[in-house]
Structure 1
Amino acid sequence: MRNDRELVQLLHTLDRLPSDSLEYPQGFDANLALAKAKGLAERLSIDFSSAWRVAPNQDANYYFAVEPEDFESGPLVGIRLSNFGNLAAVTTPRPDSHPDLEQAVADGVLSPGQRDLIVVALDAIGYTLIPQYLLHRRYDGISKIAEMGKRDLLLTYPDDLGHAAWWNRFFEYI
């Protein structure tokens, strides 16, 4: 498990990858990403004894959301998978709901066992989980997202109105 400083350093490293677009870095393999996301959905379907699906996205810097097919039978959670560096972000139930999975457990959205199933599955398949509180930080990277304002970005977090966050760089529609 990486500490916060290492995760922020990873975000900056991925931000500097060569790219012709804010949506994905050069060499991004959509077929490989889909196969990996399907593997995560299959693993979580088994672990939770309920079906999970892969919901593809366009015009975004994350390629898939993995979520329960039926929120009545599964946890109220979604996992966004970034186009950059196998990053994952867990939302419970909205991106601004809980700063991390521990708070989601404390608030009763997830049980400790459900949290552990998600964390272990992400790690086993090779994703790096980035906590919401790090993604909520003001974006200070090198892409043009740093210059975009409120009208140019879909700003998910109310606290971020008027400036971009790392969430916007790696887990949002562009």
Structure 2
Amino acid sequence: MAPETHAIPESCDRRLLRLEEVESPLVAQLAAAIGHLRTAGEHADPAASLAHYPGRTAADLKGWIGGNVQMIAELLVPLIAPHTRVEITSYGVLHQDPPLGDALTLDLTTALRNPPEDPEVREVMLHSSGLDQVVYDYVLATPGAVEIAERTVLRVLAQAAALPGQPVALHVYCRGGKHLDDPDHMEFPQNYDHTATRARFDQLADRLDQRFRCTCTVDRGVQDANHHGTIVIPTSETASGDHITITVSNYGNLVAVTLGNPGSYDKEEENVLFETADRRPIDDELDALGYTAVSEHLLWTRYDGVSNRGTCFEPRTWWDRFFDYI
């Protein structure tokens, strides 16, 4: 899954200069302060960042970062986070080439314990993915995992401060990993629970009815498809000037939220037209029910997975693979 290639990104100094020219001094100051944390956050070992901080030891740098993280985060989160969209692409370098495009990167190839290498949990982990709670709990229990997550959040906030109003792309990679794309299960994954999936889908429809004070159009009669159903919020109840379509996949808690019908708007148009007043309550309800939202613009990229190998259904895009009919 690879976003489109973008032009060479402008330098951090240029971003800050432009920010100072057009944005409030407060945001510019915050961007400059956290820019130091972003540079340091590119390395798990503070000693690797010493070149950026003449006269400081690794211990000094680590203490300085730790002392400022909380203060800056408390200032940045309420100011920037509500207006920032983060697009996360995860992949295994042994499975595919890195995604294209300008993005922050997070290298986990050696940073965390690999669950299948632990004999006590190996069998469970081999049949699970990063979207399963058992994997989530195991990885977060790894020493240093929480610190890596916190440092990454700060880097994302720094990028958002330097480029206000623009989505932030984050590419997270490890070596292998279990992926949802399984050529032996094209319509729904192994151990698929239709009853539980339908119950949660109905909950989502009810909650969106309440949030938007309307009766959404719900399609529950989907057959021969790799998605479970769709929920449409009518135009009359949105601030974005068009209806909103929520497509729920059969795979990995995945959901695609699109302005209009899928494919109606390109990424730039959606960034302008899709109002936060609509997007935020939808994201809130998805989070509350454990869904994972995926940008449709990533899904329209060329399919390069494993399910074209000897199967009767040959998806052309990642949307075809997880959100369409077969």
TM-score, with structure 2 as normaliser: 0.42
Please state if 1:5 is matched with 2:89. yes
Instruction: Report percent identity of matched pairs.
Output: 34
Which of 93, 98, 103 is 2:265 aligned to? Answer: 98
Larger radius of gyration: 2
CA distance in 2, matches of 1:61, 1:24: 6
1:63: which partner in 2?
228
Please state if 1:137 is matched with 2:221. no
CA distance in 1, matches of 2:209, 2:324: 25
CA distance in 1, matches of 2:230, 2:256: 9
CA distance in 2, matches of 1:95, 1:43: 22
Return closer, same or farther for 1:131/1:50 CA change in 2, 3 Å cut-off. Answer: same
Please give the per-residue CA displacement for 1:66-111, whole angstroms capped at 9, x wherever unaligned: 123x5434550111111011100012212112345x843512xx42
Asked whether the equivalents of residues 95 and 132 of structure 1 are also in contact (C-alpha less than 8 Å), the reply is: yes
CA distance in 1, matches of 2:204, 2:197: 11
* C-alpha RMSD of the superposition: 2.9
Return closer, same or farther for 1:46/1:135 CA change in 2, 3 Å cut-off. Answer: same
2:187: which partner in 1?
23
1:47: which partner in 2?
211
Please state if 1:123 is matched with 2:275. no
Asked whether the equivalents of residues 63 and 83 of structure 1 are also in contact (C-alpha less than 8 Å), the reply is: yes
1:84: which partner in 2?
251
CA distance in 2, matches of 1:36, 1:52: 16
| Structure 1 residue runs without a partner (length 5+) | 154-162
Return closer, same or farther for 1:169/1:29 CA change in 2, 3 Å cut-off. Answer: same
SS at match of 1:25: coil
| Larger RCO (alpha carbons 8 Å, 6+ apart) | 1
SS at match of 1:5: strand
CA distance in 1, matches of 2:310, 2:260: 27
